[in-house]
Structure 1
Amino acid sequence: MLIVTGANGKLGRGVVEQLLQRIPAEQIGVSVRDVSQAQDLAERGVRVRHGDFASAESLLHAFEGASQVLLVSTGMLGDAGLRQHQTAINAAKKSGAGRVLYTSHMGSSSTSYFPPMVHHAATEDLLEASGMRHTSLRNGFYASSLVRLIGDAVHTGELIAPEDGPIAWTTHADLAQATAVILTEKNWDGPSPNLTASEAIDMEGVAAMVSDIVGRPIYRKVVTDEAYRAHLAAQGFPEMRLAITLGIFRASRNGDFAQTSSALADLIGRSPLTLRDDLKASLPLSDAL
Structure 2
Amino acid sequence: MIVVTGATGALNGHTVNHLLRHVPPGDIGVSVRSPERAQHLAGRGVRVRYGTYDDGKALRHSFEGADQVLLVSSSDVTDDVVTQHRTAIDAAVEAGASRILYTSAQGSAFDSPYPPLAIHAATEQHLAESGVAWTALRNGFYGDLGQLLGPWWSTGTIAKPDDGPFSWIDRRDAGEAAAAILIGDASADGPIDLTLPAPVTLDDFAARASERVGRRIGRVVIEDEEWVAAETARGTPETLARFTLSMFQATRTGHFAHSDPTLQRLLGREPRSIADQIADQPAV
Same fold (TM over 0.5): yes
- 1:232 matched to 2:227? The reply is no
Q: Following TM superposition, by how much is the alpha carbon of 1:234 offset from its aligned partner in structure 2, in angstroms? A: 1.3
- 1:10 matched to 2:22? The reply is no
1:66-88 Cα shifts (integer Å, max 9, x gaps): 11110011123476111211111
- 1:69 matched to 2:72? The reply is no
1:64-143 pair list within 5 angstroms: 64-77=64-77, 80-142=80-142
- 1:206 matched to 2:205? The reply is yes
Report the secondary structure of 1:170's partner residue: coil
- 1:56 matched to 2:52? The reply is no
Matched AA of 1:106: Q
Report the secondary structure of 1:124's partner residue: helix
| CA distance in 1: counterparts of 2:251 and 2:30, whole angstroms | 34
Q: Following TM superposition, by how much is the alpha carbon of 1:12 offset from its aligned partner in structure 2, in angstroms? A: 1.0
Paired position in structure 2 for 1:165: 164
Paired position in structure 1 for 2:181: 182
Q: Following TM superposition, by how much is the alpha carbon of 1:60 offset from its aligned partner in structure 2, in angstroms? A: 1.1
Q: Following TM superposition, by how much is the alpha carbon of 1:197 offset from its aligned partner in structure 2, in angstroms? A: 2.0
Matched AA of 2:50: H
Higher helix share: 1
1:147 and 1:279 in contact (8 A); partners too: no
Matched AA of 1:40: H
Paired position in structure 2 for 1:223: 222
Paired position in structure 2 for 1:26: 26
TM-score by length of 1: 0.93
- 1:253 matched to 2:252? The reply is yes
1:213 and 1:280 in contact (8 A); partners too: yes
| CA distance in 1: counterparts of 2:122 and 2:78, whole angstroms | 10
2:139 and 2:174 in contact (8 A); partners too: yes
| CA distance in 2: counterparts of 1:210 and 1:188, whole angstroms | 35
Relative to structure 1, the CA distance from residue 84 to residue 240 in structure 2 (aligned partners, 3 Å threshold; closer, same or farther) is: farther
| CA distance in 2: counterparts of 1:112 and 1:228, whole angstroms | 23
1:112-131 Cα shifts (integer Å, max 9, x gaps): 22222122112112222333
2:150 and 2:159 in contact (8 A); partners too: no
2:228 and 2:238 in contact (8 A); partners too: no
1:116 and 1:244 in contact (8 A); partners too: no
Q: Where does structure 1 lack aligned partners over 5 or more consecutive residues?
A: none
TM-score by length of 2: 0.94
Report the secondary structure of 2:80's partner residue: helix
Q: Following TM superposition, by how much is the alpha carbon of 1:187 offset from its aligned partner in structure 2, in angstroms? A: 4.2
Matched AA of 1:9: G
Q: Percent identity?
A: 45
| CA distance in 2: counterparts of 1:120 and 1:147, whole angstroms | 25
1:3 and 1:31 in contact (8 A); partners too: yes
Matched AA of 2:112: S
Tell me how large the CA RMSD over aligned residues is. 1.6
Matched AA of 1:134: W
Report the secondary structure of 1:26's partner residue: helix
Matched AA of 1:212: E
1:193-246 Cα shifts (integer Å, max 9, x gaps): x21122321111211221221222222111221111112111222243223211
| CA distance in 2: counterparts of 1:137 and 1:158, whole angstroms | 33
| CA distance in 2: counterparts of 1:219 and 1:18, whole angstroms | 37
Report the secondary structure of 2:183's partner residue: helix
Stretch moving more, 110-119 or 1-10: 110-119
1:2 and 1:67 in contact (8 A); partners too: yes
- 1:37 matched to 2:37? The reply is yes
Report the secondary structure of 2:245's partner residue: helix
Relative to structure 1, the CA distance from residue 280 to residue 182 in structure 2 (aligned partners, 3 Å threshold; closer, same or farther) is: same
Report the secondary structure of 1:221's partner residue: strand
